[in-house]
C-alpha cells in the first residue's frame, strides 16, 4: 500500500519533468506540467508528514506548543485555504462557526480540521454537500464535519480511527491514501484533552465526524507587527547544503527574490565561506559531510569574525529534541524541510529582526 501511494505521485512528477524537457512542447503544457509537479510534491510531503506524525504521536514524542487560540478564526482560515486551492469548487459548502477560544497548538489543530475536510472531500462525489459547524456549550466546543458522501458501513464504523483500516475496504483502496489520517486526528485531539467520534447511517448516507475540546476565556489578541515591505537591499545569504539539486534550486529561488546567495556543499566549505564573505544570514543543513550543522553553528559562534551571522537550521530532522539540539548549538531558528518560499522568506525576515542566539538573554 505504501509503495503504491508513493510511486503514484513520483510517476506523475517524473512524467511532468520529462515533458518539460521535450522539444517543441508549448508554454501551456509546460505550465500545466509545473502545476502537476507542485501538486504531487505537496501530496508526497503530506504522506511523509502523516507517517512521521503518527509514529511520533503513538510513541508519545509529539510535544504540543499550546497557547491561547481563537479557534473560530483557525476554522475559517483552514476553510479558506481549501477554497483558495479550488478544492471546494465542485461542492455545496455550509459553514456555521461559533466564537470560541481554546488552549491549543494552532498547527496541530489545523492539521486535525484539514484531515477531516480531506476525508469528507475524498468520499463525497462532486456536487455533494459538506458542512463545517461549531457550537459552544458548558465550557466545551463541538466541531462537526458532515458530508453527503458514500457513508460508512456499520462493520467499518467502529474501526475508522484505527491505523491502516482502509486496507479492509476496496473503496478506500480506490480512493488512495494510507488510512492513517483519522488515526492521527484521534491522537492529536486526545492530546488536547478532547475526544472525537464518527457517525453514519450506512453506505450512501454520508458521514459526520465530531470532536469536543475544552474552551477557555476569550483572550485579547496583541496587534500584529506589520512586515517591512520597503524596497531595501536584500541581506546576503550563505546556503550550506550537501544535496546538489536542493542547494541549486534554493539558491535560484532566493536569487529570483533579489537575495545575493553564496553556497557551500559541506561544513568546512561553509565555515570558510562565512569567514571570507561575512553574509548576513546562513541557512545550514544539519546532516552535512565533514562536520555536521551543529558543529558548523558552534564554530561560527565561537569565531569573532562570524559570531554575528544569523543562523537558520534548514533540515529534515523535525522532532522536539532535534529543535532543542539546534538551539543549543547556537542557531536562531529551526525550519523543517520541505520549506516553501513564503515560509522561508518570512523566516529570514523574522530571524534578521532578532539578536543572534549568543546575544539573547
What pLDDT was estimated at residue 149?
Answer: 93
Question: Are 80 and 107 part of one and the same domain?
Answer: yes
User: How far is Cα of residue 305 from the mean position of the Cα atoms in its chain?
Assistant: 35
CATH number at residue 193: 3.30.565.10
Side by side, the strands of the sheet bearing 207-214 are 92-96, 129-137, 140-147, 207-214, 195-199
- pLDDT score of 96: 96
What pLDDT does 9 receive? 78
Q: What is the CATH number of the domain that holds 12?
A: 1.10.287
* pLDDT score for 215: 94
Would 291 be classed as within a structural domain?
yes
Instruction: Tell me what pLDDT residue 319 has.
Output: 65
Q: What is the pLDDT of residue 162?
A: 79
* Residues of the chain with confidence (pLDDT) below 70: 1-5, 60-61, 163-179, 219-232, 318-320, 354-361
Regarding whether 260 and 346 lie in a shared domain, the answer is yes
Instruction: Kindly state whether residues 151 and 92 are assigned to the same domain.
Output: yes
The per-residue pLDDT for 238 is 96
pLDDT digits (tens, 9 = 90+) for 6-36: 777 788 888 888 888 888 888 888 888 888 8
pLDDT score, position 192: 93
Q: Print the domain residue range for 44.
A: 2-58
pTM: 0.56
Which of 32, 58, 84 is the endpoint of a domain? 58
What kind and span of H or E run contains 240? strand 237-240
Residue 219 domain flag: no
**Predicted local confidence at residue 160, as pLDDT:** 87
Q: Which residue has the cell 486526545?
A: 190
Name the residue among 206, 167, 171, 201 with its Cα closest to residue 183: 167
- How many Å apart are CA 234 and CA 210, to the nearest integer? 47
- Residue 284: predicted pLDDT: 94
Identify the pLDDT of residue 249: 85
Q: Which H/E stretch holds residue 182?
A: helix 181-191
Does residue 231 fall inside a structural domain? no
Provide the number of structural domains found in the chain.
3
21 grid coordinates: 524537457
Nearest to 254 by CA among 271, 238, 267: 238
85 with 160, same domain: the answer is: yes
Task: Assess whether 195 and 95 both reside in one domain.
Answer: yes
Beta bridge partners of 237: 261, 281
178: which 3 cell numbers? 494510507
Residue 47: Cβ within 10 Å count: 19
Give the model's pLDDT for residue 190: 92
Predicted pLDDT at 246? 82
C-beta separation of 236 from 276 below 8 A: no
Torsion of CA 339, 342, 346, 348, to 10 degrees: 60
Q: Is 116 domain-assigned?
A: yes
**Measured in whole angstroms, how far is the alpha carbon of residue 231 from the centre of its chain?**
29
Q: How far is CA 357 from CA 158, 227, 322, in A?
A: 50, 22, 16
Q: Are residues 52 and 127 in the same domain?
A: no
Burial class (CB in 10 A: 0-12, 13-18, 19+), 144: middle
Do the domain assignments include residue 34? yes
- Do residues 249 and 346 share a domain? yes
Distance (Å, whole) CA 315 – CA 317: 5
Amino acid at each position: 500500500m505504501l509503495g503504491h501511494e508513493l510511486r503514484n505521485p513520483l510517476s506523475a512528477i517524473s512524467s511532468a519533468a520529462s515533458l518539460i524537457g521535450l522539444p517543441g512542447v508549448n508554454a501551456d503544457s509546460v505550465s500545466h506540467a509545473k502545476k502537476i509537479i507542485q501538486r504531487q510534491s505537496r501530496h508526497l510531503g503530506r504522506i511523509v508528514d502523516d507517517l512521521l506524525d503518527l509514529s511520533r504521536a503513538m510513541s508519545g514524542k509529539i510535544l504540543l506548543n499550546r497557547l491561547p487560540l481563537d479557534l473560530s478564526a483557525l476554522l475559517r482560515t483552514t476553510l479558506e485555504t481549501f477554497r483558495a486551492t479550488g478544492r471546494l469548487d465542485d461542492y455545496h459548502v455550509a459553514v456555521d462557526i461559533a466564537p470560541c477560544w481554546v488552549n491549543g497548538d494552532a498547527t496541530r489543530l489545523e492539521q486535525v480540521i484539514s484531515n477531516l475536510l480531506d476525508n469528507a472531500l475524498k468520499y463525497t462525489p462532486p456536487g455533494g454537500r459538506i458542512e463545517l459547524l461549531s457550537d459552544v456549550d458548558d465550557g466545551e466546543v463541538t466541531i462537526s464535519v458532515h458530508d453527503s458522501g458514500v457513508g460508512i458501513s456499520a462493520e467499518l464504523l467502529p474501526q475508522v480511527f484505527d491505523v491502516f483500516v482502509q486496507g479492509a475496504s476496496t473503496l478506500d483502496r480506490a480512493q488512495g491514501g494510507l488510512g492513517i489520517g483519522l488515526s492521527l486526528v484521534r491522537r492529536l485531539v486526545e492530546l488536547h484533552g478532547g475526544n472525537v467520534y464518527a457517525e453514519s447511517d450506512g453506505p450512501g448516507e454520508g458521514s459526520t465526524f465530531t470532536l469536543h475540546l475544552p474552551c477557555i476565556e476569550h483572550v485579547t489578541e496583541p496587534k500584529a507587527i506589520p512586515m517591512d515591505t520597503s524596497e531595501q537591499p536584500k541581506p546576503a545569504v550563505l546556503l550550506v547544503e550537501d544535496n546538489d539539486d536542493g542547494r541549486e534550486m534554493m539558491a535560484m529561488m532566493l536569487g529570483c527574490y533579489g537575495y545575493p546567495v553564496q553556497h557551500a556543499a559541506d561544513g568546512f566549505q561553509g565555515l570558510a565561506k562565512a569567514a571570507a564573505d561575512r553574509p548576513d544570514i546562513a541557512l545550514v543543513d544539519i546532516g552535512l559531510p565533514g562536520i555536521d550543522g551543529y558543529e558548523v553553528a558552534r564554530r561560527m559562534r565561537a569565531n569573532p569574525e562570524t559570531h554575528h551571522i544569523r543562523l537558520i537550521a534548514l533540515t529534515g530532522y523535525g522532532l522536539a529534541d532535534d529543535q532543542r539540539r539546534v538551539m543549543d548549538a547556537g542557531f536562531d531558528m529551526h525550519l523543517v524541510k520541505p520549506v516553501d518560499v513564503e515560509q522561508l522568506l518570512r523566516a529570514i525576515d523574522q530571524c534578521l529582526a532578532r539578536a543572534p542566539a549568543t546575544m539573547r538573554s
